Amino acid sequence: MTHLPWDLQLLNTCAALLLLLSFAMLSQRRIVTLVDLLAIQGGLLAVATLLLAWRTGQPHLYLSALLTVALKVAFLPWLLHRLIHRLEVYWDTEPLLNISGTLLAGVVIVVFAFGLAQPITQLANTTMRSAIGIAIAVVLLAFLMMITRRKAMSQVIGFLSMENGLFFGAMSATYGMPMVIELGVALDVLVAVLVLGVFFFQIREQFDSLDLHHLESLKESE
The contact set with another protein (CB under 8 A) reads 1-4, 6, 9-10, 12-13, 15-17, 19-20, 23, 27, 99-100, 103-104, 106-107, 110-111, 114, 117, 130-131, 133-134
Maximal CA-CA distance, the chain: 66
Residues 52 and 11: beta-carbon distance below 8 Å? yes
Cα–Cα distance, 142 to 160 (Å, whole number): 8
Closest distance between another protein and the C-beta of residue 133, in Å? 5
Closest distance between another protein and the C-beta of residue 141, in Å? 11
Amino acid at position 20, single letter: L
CA pseudo-torsion sign 63, 182, 187, 35: negative
Closest distance between another protein and the C-beta of residue 174, in Å? 19
Closest distance between another protein and the C-beta of residue 172, in Å? 11
Cα–Cα distance, 125 to 222 (Å, whole number): 56
- Closest to another protein by CB, 96 or 215: 96
- Closest to another protein by CB, 7 or 188: 7
- Closest to another protein by CB, 12 or 126: 12
- Closest to another protein by CB, 6 or 220: 6
Closest distance between another protein and the C-beta of residue 114, in Å? 6
- Closest to another protein by CB, 71 or 170: 170
Alpha helices (H) in the chain, listed in sequence order: 6-27, 31-56, 59-68, 76-87, 99-123, 132-148, 152-174, 179-207
Angle CA 35–37–41, to nearest 5: 115
CA pseudo-torsion sign 120, 101, 37, 85: positive
